[in-house]
A and B are shown apart, each in its own frame.
Chain A
Amino acid sequence: MSKYECYETMFSDRDCLVNAIRAAGYTQVEVHEEPVHLRGYMNDKRPEKAEIVIRKEDISRASNDVGFRRREDGTYEAIVSEYDKRLSRWVESEKKIRKEYAREAALKTLKDKGYENIQVEQTKDGKYRITAKVPPHRIQAKKQTVGMGVKK
């Protein structure tokens, strides 16, 4: 039986994390309001629990479930078995989840804050480049501040 290990992450937005996991190829990711038990490679119920679960069948035949459990500080910790941690597929998936989470979080921030003309492109080396125009009211705030300075 492969031991589970927990990792701190900077993920804090559930929707962004779930979308990132899906973008990494795990379309069947489970999302629960209350944490559920993870299952080991022999389908055994393990004591570790998580709200977001990638079932072992989606990773590899000999894998264990991978989970993301919400912590009190609002971030998620990843729960990954020693076996899966060494799998090249999971190592690549972890990279992709980090990258896709950053993309999702950036786009959410831009939309929530009213940025305009948001454009996403991916460079040849795989890097994301997102551009957006600052909303007009944010620029006006700057001009008003400058005007006040001039009067003084």
Chain B
Amino acid sequence: MNQKNLRPEVVIEIDENTGDVSVDILNMEGQACSEVADDFLALGRRKSSYKKKEYYASPASQAATIQQKNR
């Protein structure tokens, strides 16, 4: 089946130890894919899997990790 005919979907994976989030956007590309990716800005790393190329990724430090602060 042509990949372009598949209904676009998102796959979110959450690491069991760190709570780090990765978001895959399947069967989608271009501006619409970019807009969908923006929905998950606050969650962590995102990539498009339309051609299995990394769309873009934010630094790992932006994932939901707890950082120690000296006080």
Contacts and interface: CB of A to CB of B under 8 A. Distances in A.
Interface of A: 5-12, 77-78, 94-95, 97-99, 101-103, 105-106, 109-110, 113, 115, 125-134, 138-139, 141-142, 145-146
A139 B32 contact: yes
Interface of B: 7-21, 25, 28, 30-33, 35-36, 39-40, 42-44, 62-69, 71
Contact of A145 (B8, B20, B25, B31): B31
Contacts of A11: 64
Q: Is the interface of B mostly helix, strand, loop or mixed?
A: loop
Contacts of A9: 64, 66-67
23 contacts: A7-B66, A7-B69, A8-B66, A8-B67, A8-B69, A10-B63, A10-B64, A77-B69, A95-B18, A98-B65, A99-B14, A99-B16, A102-B14, A102-B43, A109-B40, A127-B15, A131-B10, A131-B11, A133-B8, A139-B8, A141-B35, A142-B33, A146-B30
Nearest to B32: A142
Given A98-B64, A101-B64, A125 B16 contact: yes
A129 B11 contact: yes
Contacts of A134: 7-10, 25, 28, 36
